[in-house]
Structure 1
């Protein structure tokens, strides 16, 4: 990117130098054409400035996108290696040691959780690619949204906490909407997983689903670090992740909220990001 910027400024400098050089030469040789030279020079300078602005903006945008893609590849590599390493250790332990039934069950359950994590990651990557190239058709039918939210909340529940359950679900039964069950499940999964990810260990995450008049309102609230007002406008961009890359502690690929936004647009739904008082973030989806 630095090389592109240097070449860009060099070309701008060359163009301006040539313009003033030839303009000065013409005015010296043909003084009667001063007005024409000034007029045409002004138009050329205006167009050059406008063009330079947009070209520089494109170069910077391309550089940021390249950096985000590199960070995405690093994140995906880490996201893949961590559960694979955990599964490998669990299986090696099962093979090499004579464990009791309880220990075997515990290791297998941990491996299943890691496999689910891998499955979610792969599904997100495939879905983001299909959405991006407009190849996914969003086949819609009547969906029992209450059952879907309950099932995902229960699956993502962390039972390792000694305190109260981390996900507190308040779901009104028998709420049905017309939509694509697969992508709606991805929306619910990504929002709840994000809330858990950006919360302290064993902190409570609130999930609610309500029918209010003719609208269906789905809310996920956490008590984590929160999102600054400056970043709220970018969090739904592809590959974007909250916080500085060199100080970020949470895992992720930057695809989750991009998928959420794209899927909700296809369902004519609205998502609003609010601050949770005294701390945290609220995602409110209205169908």
Structure 2
């Protein structure tokens, strides 16, 4: 891409230099037509510059797209390799060592959690592709949203700490009419993001409650937080802060894009607020007529 930009700069400068040179020669040969040559030359230069600017923007856009695709492939590769390596290690340990039933059960349970991580990744990629291609219909049904949030929070619970990492405060009996599969993805992505960007064993709060007739979902963390400039971009497809080579947190940049798109199809709004003393709060509000 750098080579393409260098060629573009060279050709642009060369073309402008040639244009001015030929203009100078024409004026020198026919000085009586100076005004006409300058006028027509100015129009040509204007058109040339506008075209060059548009071409430059297209090259820059292509460069950003290539970088985004590269980062996405790196992140997906990492997301796939990590749980696969973990599952392989657990299964090899079960085969090679004499373990008591309790240890075997623990290893199998951890393997299943890693398989669920892979399943979440595949589901994110599938639903993002369908949304992009306008091939997803968002089938609606009435279901218990309270149970959905509780189930997702329990599945994503981190059990390596002495105290629970995810603290769920769910008002019972919250009913929504919507796409259960897509909204499960919304809750999963919001809680997973909170886990990813928080220090180990720090508390994450997942709340679901009714407020003024609307159903509200809040996911709060004590992580690194999000500055105001990035709050405008975090819902863009593939957007992630920093470079994939230096970023420590896992992810593909699809999660919040899916969240925003799904909520748009459910007439729901999402806000990102600063948590105190640090971290972020993602607040989703489902309008009352949705339930």
Q: Residues of 2 paired with 1:58 and 1:231: CA distance?
A: 24
What is the TM-score when the length of structure 2 is the normalising length?
Answer: 0.93
Query: Is 2:196 the partner of 1:197?
Result: yes
Which residue does 2:165 correspond to in 1? 166
Q: C-alpha displacement at 1:22, in angstroms? A: 2.5
Query: Is 2:256 the partner of 1:266?
Result: no
Moved more, 119-128 or 42-51: 42-51
Which residue does 1:87 correspond to in 2? 87
Which residue does 1:46 correspond to in 2? 46
Q: Deviations over 1:109-131 (max 9, x none)?
A: 11111110111111111111111
Q: Residues of 1 paired with 2:86 and 2:65: CA distance?
A: 32
Describe the SS at the equivalent of 1:116.
Answer: helix
> Structure 1 regions of 5+ residues with no counterpart?
none
Q: Indicate the RMSD between aligned Cα atoms, in angstroms.
A: 1.6
Moved more, 194-203 or 257-266: 257-266
Which residue does 2:208 correspond to in 1? 209
Describe the SS at the equivalent of 2:150.
Answer: helix
Moved more, 84-93 or 242-251: 242-251
Q: Deviations over 1:4-52 (max 9, x none)?
A: 1112112211221232122222222333332222222222222333332
Moved more, 28-37 or 144-153: 28-37
**Following superposition of structure 1 onto structure 2, how do residues 216-231 of structure 1 map, counting pairs within 5 Å?**
216-231=215-230
**Following superposition of structure 1 onto structure 2, how do residues 177-196 of structure 1 map, counting pairs within 5 Å?**
177-196=176-195
Which residue does 1:6 correspond to in 2? 6
Which residue does 1:96 correspond to in 2? 96
Moved more, 151-160 or 22-31: 22-31
Q: C-alpha displacement at 1:254, in angstroms? A: 1.1
Query: Is 2:149 the partner of 1:133?
Result: no
The answer (yes or no) to whether the contact 2:236–2:256 under 8 Å persists in 1 is: yes
The answer (yes or no) to whether the contact 2:90–2:111 under 8 Å persists in 1 is: yes
Describe the SS at the equivalent of 1:209.
Answer: strand
Describe the SS at the equivalent of 2:124.
Answer: helix
What is the TM-score when the length of structure 1 is the normalising length?
Answer: 0.94
The answer (yes or no) to whether the contact 1:227–1:242 under 8 Å persists in 2 is: no
Aligned residue pair count = 286
Q: C-alpha displacement at 1:108, in angstroms? A: 0.6
Q: Residues of 2 paired with 1:37 and 1:219: CA distance?
A: 67
